[in-house]
A and B are shown apart, each in its own frame.
Chain A
Amino acid sequence: MKCSSAIQKIVLMASSSSPQRLRQWANFQSSPKKARTMSTQSSLKDAFSSYADYLNNLNEKRERVVKASRDITMNSKKVIFQVHRISKNKKEEVLEKAYKDLAAVMNQYVARLVKELKGSDFWKLRRAYSPGIQEYVEAATLCRFCKSGTLLSLEEMNASFSSLSNPSQEPLQINILDYILGLADLTGELMRLAIGRISDGELQYAEKICTFVREIHRELTLLVPHMDEPSDMKTKMETMLQSVIKIENACFSVHVRGSECNLLGTDDSSYSLMGAAEGIDL
């Protein structure tokens, strides 16, 4: 009786269909409960329950990797903000703190990634962790540039990860693509840094940044067509070019107005330099 009342409900709900039709439908609905061939059905169930286990494990792992990646992104961003606190007289201590924070990102969050990824996971789950790693590359290369004016190479970065895993584990290896994508983002940060330095009157430092960014831009230009996803890289290249041009324009303004100052014979050069930087729209 229970069954029939449920069917009547359905009949009411779907008044446009003929009741007869629904009755037939209901008949067949009740029949699969009496499975006729248990053997095929149970092997299908067994197989699918093992597929379910596989998918559950994979999804849980992916979720953990995404979380680790998000933490890496968030904390790498903090390192980048710290680097931007640099000022003319407070370079050393600001950088020291940035390096300390960077090491913490590696030991706490990158270490969590290392635990999850092995073998083919590096590529299989790349989408899940790539944003975090790119941000980390950005933060680490920014710190290195501010400290020594050089580019932290991929080889060095990967070597620094070897301490995270014990020798029996596979070490985390950042792939070329994530490293290059991270570098592409680095130029945006360097642009901000350059503008800040100009405001602070450190024109030479800004020019050094400018040269470095130009070099990276030039090198990456050659790599674009060979990337796994060239279209993503193309948009990054355009943003990068804008950053380079912004730094160049800032340097140009300072250069022109700076010489103006000399002509006027004022020695208060920092004032006009400030003005030059203000004109730059970040």
Chain B
Amino acid sequence: MSGGEASALPLEKQFEDFRSQLEDSVTLRERIRAVVLEIESTTRLMYSSLLLVYLSRPLLEVLDKSKAHIGTLKDHYSRLADILSECPDQYYRYHGDWRSETQTAVSLLAFTHYLETGNLLLHNEAGEKLGLTNSQFGLDLEDYLVGVCFMSNELPRYVVNQVTAGDYDCPRKVLKFLTELNAAFRMLNLRNDFLRKKFDGLKYDLRRVEEVFYDVKIRGLASDGDSTGNQGSKENNDSEVVH
């Protein structure tokens, strides 16, 4: 420990420095929060666009409306990145301020992507859409995964309404998607944290979709689609159970 001059630094001086540093971080946080509010309102608009899917609007129209907001989101994130570039390596100090908004954004992007392609939007793809590809300001993986779980929460409602609207093949597709997603999630060693809880929620979504699939199937409403290859074995199973 060096004594001498440094310790002669008056106590007040050090605390004055602290105060000005902390005040700077408060100001920075206020600026971050201002941008986050805009992100929040954009995701709200995007969500309301996606909700048109339940109002029997044509899918293309819904997708166009939803995707129109992605550019705005990207702009907001680039402003956020600019602010954060003033304090390198402090991403995670302020991360909590935009965390839940980012999870929501990911869930909406992933839902849009699913409606469009039938596939899962991957982490790097989500990052690209939001412009979060920088190593200093990227998309946190755990936020992405939580966002994916949020998206899965939307699927039971989607399936129910699609069936009501007469799309009987939808449950099968969603079920396949969710089953694969569930299997993928089970590859992860999760800690006992928020993400784990959200993943537990995904199983309930899966079960709900299974029920819808069953309801449709048992009434012979589902078209057999490309599943004809499995018909034979299914019938075998049936007869085995019945005896």
> A residues engaging B (CB < 8 A)?
1, 3-4, 7-8, 11, 19-21, 23-28, 30-32, 34, 36, 40-41, 43-45, 47-49, 51-52, 54-56, 59, 99, 119-120, 122-124, 126, 140, 143-144, 148, 150-156, 159-160, 176, 180, 215-216, 219-220, 222-223, 226-228
B226 at the interface (CB under 8 A from A): yes
Chain A residues within 8 Å of B210, by CB: 25, 28
Q: Which of chain A's residues has its CB closest to B207's CB?
A: A25
CB atoms of A151 and B11 under 8 A apart: yes
Chain A contact surface mostly: helix
CB atoms of B188 and A21 under 8 A apart: no
B95–chain A nearest beta-carbon distance, Å:
8
Complex CA distance for A1 and B234, rounded to whole angstroms: 13
Name 22 interchain pairs, CB-CB below 8 A, sorted by A: A4-B237, A7-B237, A7-B241, A21-B218, A25-B210, A27-B238, A36-B176, A36-B226, A47-B122, A49-B187, A55-B142, A55-B188, A124-B92, A143-B1, A144-B7, A148-B7, A151-B7, A156-B2, A159-B2, A222-B15, A223-B22, A226-B25
Complex CA distance for A43 and B241, rounded to whole angstroms: 36
CB atoms of A151 and B179 under 8 A apart: no
B213 at the interface (CB under 8 A from A): yes
Chain B residues within 8 Å of A228, by CB: 25, 93
Chain B residues within 8 Å of A4, by CB: 237, 240-241
CB atoms of B1 and A144 under 8 A apart: yes
Q: Which of chain A's residues has its CB closest to B190's CB?
A: A55
Chain A residues within 8 Å of B2, by CB: 156, 159-160
Q: Which of A7, A51, A56, A159 has the most CB of B within 10 A?
A: A51
A282–chain B nearest beta-carbon distance, Å:
26
Complex CA distance for A63 and B90, rounded to whole angstroms: 21
Q: Which of chain B's residues has its CB closest to A122's CB?
A: B89
B91 at the interface (CB under 8 A from A): yes
Complex CA distance for A51 and B11, rounded to whole angstroms: 48
Complex CA distance for A32 and B227, rounded to whole angstroms: 11
CB atoms of B230 and A31 under 8 A apart: yes
CB atoms of A51 and B241 under 8 A apart: no
Contact-residue bracket for chain B: 35 or more
Q: A28-B214, A30-B234 are in contact. List 14 more A-B contacts (CB 8 A).
A: A4-B237, A8-B241, A26-B241, A28-B210, A28-B217, A45-B187, A47-B120, A48-B184, A55-B189, A120-B90, A120-B136, A124-B91, A151-B14, A226-B25
**Among the listed A124, A126, A153, which residue makes an inter-chain contact with B6, where contact means beta carbons less than 8 Å apart?**
A153
Chain A residues within 8 Å of B90, by CB: 120, 123
B192–chain A nearest beta-carbon distance, Å:
11
Q: Which of chain A's residues has its CB closest to B9's CB?
A: A153
CB atoms of B26 and A226 under 8 A apart: yes
Complex CA distance for A144 and B23, rounded to whole angstroms: 28
Chain A residues within 8 Å of B166, by CB: none
B58 at the interface (CB under 8 A from A): no
Counting residue pairs across A and B whose Cβ atoms lie within 8 Å, the total is 156
B130 at the interface (CB under 8 A from A): no
CB atoms of A59 and B214 under 8 A apart: no
Chain A residues within 8 Å of B241, by CB: 4, 7-8, 11, 19, 23, 26
Q: Which of B18-41 contact A (CB under 8 A)?
A: 18-19, 21-23, 25-26
**Among the listed B7, B145, B187, B213, which residue makes an inter-chain contact with A152, where contact means beta carbons less than 8 Å apart?**
B7
CB atoms of A32 and B188 under 8 A apart: no
Q: Which of chain A's residues has its CB closest to B23's CB?
A: A226
Complex CA distance for A215 and B89, rounded to whole angstroms: 33
Known: A45-B187, A148-B7, A226-B19. A54 touches B141 (CB 8 A): yes
Chain A residues within 8 Å of B217, by CB: 24, 28
Q: Which of chain B's residues has its CB closest to A43's CB?
A: B122
Chain B residues within 8 Å of A47, by CB: 120, 122-123, 184
Known: A32-B179, A52-B189, A123-B91. A176 touches B18 (CB 8 A): yes
